[in-house]
Structure 1
């Protein structure tokens, strides 16, 4: 198996030959074999062990065993004890989810602090089969059928090509010692029930069942890749990027068939997984929105707008009389000039006598109005936004320059008539808006 493992590393995991990595070791047979083979190949790695404190003295014995194993191989060992039960109680998650979140959060910290690019885990072929069956039992799409990926940006799983029997045979042939987790024999957990009661019967159906399953996984992965290419090409066509917003024509979405599948695949990268909820927005009023953990999806007339959710920004800033520039939230330059030398949307000229300091840069509020230059009378800002065909996101992103409660400038768009230059103007203030 060591020879096959080396060929597998050379072919698919060149990164493990070129860079140091972190190897997660529980002390069980899979991870012990992985540690042994990586050591035999003289790969550069450190060992990491998680003590979840779930089995009393046995958990502590696992930790001691892994530390001794690392010492015997002259490898650095990271170990950490977790309050897993406390995490479950505070986060309201299952044991499996808690262990996964705690484990990978800690691994990420180790990688960052030690300039390591990859963590290597001991998932193997039988784990992949069990995950496949778990996903099928719960209902899944093609991403669930392709099961555990061999490699991601930060995780490598070089044992996925090898079965539990192959790993056990290797351990016995090399007289390796490992720790047995007695809880793995309990069938009250879904994975263990599948492992001990279902998988053995499946393997009885055909002597090459596991190998055939791995071939099926390869075919499914290739199909998923083709689907990804198709969806990405479609997304490029339909999702139009405007600054930091994607604008999507709803009519183009409604023509897709099967609609629900397309909607799910198109919007999944933005954290939206309920296709029915998105479809329900097709006929809704403008302003209706859905939120994912990372993005907002807003209905705006005949379009959807998708915007990343970023940290909240204050909506109120001051410019004091002596200040000549503002760098945040917008880049605004203020200067005294002799004449209106440049007429452009990003420039504003006002009569200095009309300004009351400190000037205010803020977002729109309900009831705002101004006196648009070139028009008679006043106009509600909301009506101005509507006439200019502002989207909801455009409205939220629009900054106003104000003197006390009066709007001087809908910045970059329209000046207020009350602050215009007149024959009586003695001092001209010029404001210039820069993109950077």
Structure 2
């Protein structure tokens, strides 16, 4: 196995040579074999071990075992302990998900703090099969069926082509010591049920089942790459990026015979899960929307607009004081005294300095806001009616700011100035306010 492993590393991960590598070691047979293999190949390694405190004294026995092993072999080791159950309860997570969140968060912190390059884990072919079956039972797309990736950001899984049987044989032949996790024998967890009850049956039906499965995964991966390429090409025809937003042209989208598949490809990474609701948006009424944790998909006439979903409060207010010449948050605004006016853009207004009262207040618009639009001879109008006339989408409305003097609107920023603060023949001081 050592020769096969070395060839695999050289051909698949040549960039690991001369890099500083963290090996995630639990003390079980898989990670101890991974550690033994890399010791034989003389890579620059250090060990990471997480004590999740889930198995009482056994967890601390694992930590002591690995600490002693690293001390005896002059390997640098980093250890940490987590109150995993408390974390899971606090964040309403399963124990397994909580452990994963804690583990990888700590891994990435150490990468930066210790200036290491990659983290290597001991996932192998049987783990990949179990993950495939778990995803299959829950319902999944191509991403779930392609299993555990060999390389994901700075996480590398060099044992994925090797079976549990190969790893056990190597451990026995090379006298590799390891610790047995007592929880692996329990069928309380879904993965263990699959490992102990289902996989043996599949291997009994076909002794070469694992090899056949790996071929299938290879075909699925090739199919996924083809789908990804097609998705990019169609995206360029249908989508237009505008700042933080993405606009999908529904007229172009609906020409595709399988547009739902493309929407899934494009939106999956943004955390959406209510796919039927998303598909219904295509034929739904303008103004309807679907939310994920941090993003929103809005139907706006013949467009779907994907945008970050802001949790900022409409009650947030920001002061602009008399001596301020520039504001950088939440908008970038420049203020200056000028001697004449040039009306050439909605992004600039000129006001009579003697009509305003500082501090000016910058805030989001609110239902019921009324102002006197510039050029309408003092007639009042609801800001919401202005939005309707301008055909603004819900997202554009929510992004609109109002500049106020006392309780009066001076400017619907970037759209329309208020008549009450305009320059007149009697104006002595002109203030230019510019949205940059």
Per-residue CA deviations over 1:162-218 (Å, capped at 9, x if unaligned) read 111111111111111111122212233322222223222322333432122111111
Report which stretch shifted further, 274-283 or 337-346: 337-346
Deviations 1:54-98 (CA, angstroms, capped at 9, x unpaired)? 222222111111111212221111112222222333333323222
What is the deviation of 1:158? 0.1
Call closer, same or farther: CA 1:344–1:168 in 2, change over 3 Å.
Answer: same
Quick one: distance in 1 between partners of 2:84 and 2:337?
64
1:120–1:157 CA contact under 8 A, matched in 2? yes
Whole-Å separation in 1 of the counterparts to 2:170 and 2:205: 25
Unaligned runs of 5+ in 1: none
Q: Report the Cα offset of residue 9 of structure 1.
A: 0.9
Q: Which residue of 1 aligns with 2:404?
A: 402
Question: Partner residue of 2:356?
Answer: 355
1:406 CA displacement: 1.8
TM-score (norm 2): 0.93
Matched residue of 1:18: which SS? coil
Give 1:432's aligned residue.
Answer: 434
1:308 correspondence with 2:308: yes
Task: Decide whether the 8 Å contact of 1:24 with 1:48 is kept in 2.
Answer: yes
Specify the alignment match of 1:113 in structure 2: 113
Quick check: 2:132–2:144 contact (8 Å CA) kept in 1?
yes
Question: Which of structure 1's runs of 4+ aligned residues deviate more than 6 A?
Answer: none
Q: 1:27 aligned to 2:17? A: no
Q: State the SS of the aligned residue for 2:354.
A: helix
Which structure 2 residues correspond to residues 1-400 of structure 1 after superposition, within 5 A?
Answer: 1-310=1-310, 312=312, 315-340=316-341, 343-376=344-377, 377-400=379-402
Query: Size of the alignment, in residue pairs?
Result: 434
**TM-score with structure 1 length normalisation?**
0.93
Q: What is the rounded CA distance, in whole Å, between the counterparts of 1:311 and 1:22 in structure 2? A: 38
State the Cα RMSD in Å: 2.0
Question: How far is the alpha carbon of 1:227 from its aligned partner?
Answer: 0.8
- Could you tell me how far 1:278 is from its partner in structure 2? 0.9
> Is 1:417 matched with 2:423?
no
- Alpha-carbon spacing, 1:227–1:334, altered in 2? closer, same or farther (3 Å): same
Contact 2:343 2:349 in 1 (8 A): no
Query: Contact (CA 8 Å) 1:84, 1:99: kept in 2 or not?
Result: yes
Of the structure 1 ranges 425-434 and 60-69, higher mean CA displacement relative to structure 2 is found in: 425-434
Kindly tell me: are residues 163 and 340 of structure 1, through their superposed partners in 2, closer, same or farther at Cα, counting changes over 3 Å?
same
In the TM superposition, residue 226 of structure 1 has moved relative to its aligned partner by 0.8
Q: Give the 3 Å change call, closer, same or farther, for CA 363–11 of structure 1 in structure 2.
A: same
Asked if structure 2 preserves the Cα contact closer than 8 Å seen for 1:353 and 1:427, the reply is yes
Q: What are the ranges of 5 or more consecutive residues in structure 2 without an aligned counterpart?
A: none
